[in-house]
Amino acid sequence: ELKVEQNPLFLSMQEGKNYTIYCNYSTTSDRLYWYRQDPGKSLESLFVLLSNGAVKQEGRLMASLDTKARLSTLHITAAVHDLSATYFCAVNTGNQFYFGTGTSLTVIP
Amino acid sequence: DAGVIQSPRHEVTEMGQEVTLRCKPISGHDYLFWYRQTMMRGLELLIYFNNNVPIDDSGMPEDRFSAKMPNASFSTLKIQPSEPRDSAVYFCASSQQGFSYEQYFGPGTRLTVT
């Protein structure tokens, strides 16, 4: 079974700071996804990364994929309170999706 | 479009009872996914459909779980008999044309089995 590890699991950061969330996976994968989940809410798709070297940006979030290193990063630039949420990466291989454990982000004013 | 619709939003039932969760995907989406989220196991894919046909059900935990998609606008996930360890949030999601496209999640059904 493919393993997906995220780190850190918990992240507390000040507004205006930059930080990166890492997502490592254990075997070859075709596709990598990032989701956001607010407490008690559903999941919102942020990015779909489909190839090695893919980079996507939306607002203060930027995601990248290195399939050779089996690593994806979610970079947060100049964090604001509204970004507080849990962020999940997920990996697709074959017919299965495997989710990371999530990174709980708290942005402190 | 109203997005993915799930019902009920909350379900509390006693062990041994049958539970049916319902999902209406976004119109025009060919893929439908059922997920389960628990604190212990995180997010798990249970089963997914393509054009109403079940493609992979390897994530269904056991025979007590079954899923159907009788038409393009409706799917059910049934648990019979239910057990306390089935307590979780069950999400339905849909997407266009497979895994290269983003999935849109419904609001989820929070199931509690006592």
pLDDT in tens, A48-58: 999 888 999 99
Spacing of C-alpha A72 from chain mean position: 7
Coil, strand or helix at A3 = coil
CA distance B24 to chain A (A): 15
Contact B43 A90 (CB under 8 A): yes
- Region A85-94: mean pLDDT is 94
pLDDT at A51: 87
Number of H helices, E strands in chain A: 0, 11
Q: What is the mean pLDDT of chain A?
A: 94
Could you tell me if A84 lies within 8 Å of chain B, comparing CB atoms?
no
Contact B106 A33 (CB under 8 A): no
pLDDT at B1: 66
What is d(CA A29, CA A68) in angstroms, rounded to the nearest whole number?
Answer: 10
Could you tell me if B94 lies within 8 Å of chain A, comparing CB atoms?
no
Could you tell me if B91 lies within 8 Å of chain A, comparing CB atoms?
yes
pLDDT of A82 > 80? The answer is yes
A90 contacts in chain B (CB < 8 Å) = 43
B100 contacts in chain A (CB < 8 Å) = 31, 48, 50
Instruction: For CA atoms A61, A105, A22, A89, give the dihedral sign.
Output: negative
Among the partner-chain residues A41, A45, A102, the one whose CB lies closest to the CB of B104 is A45
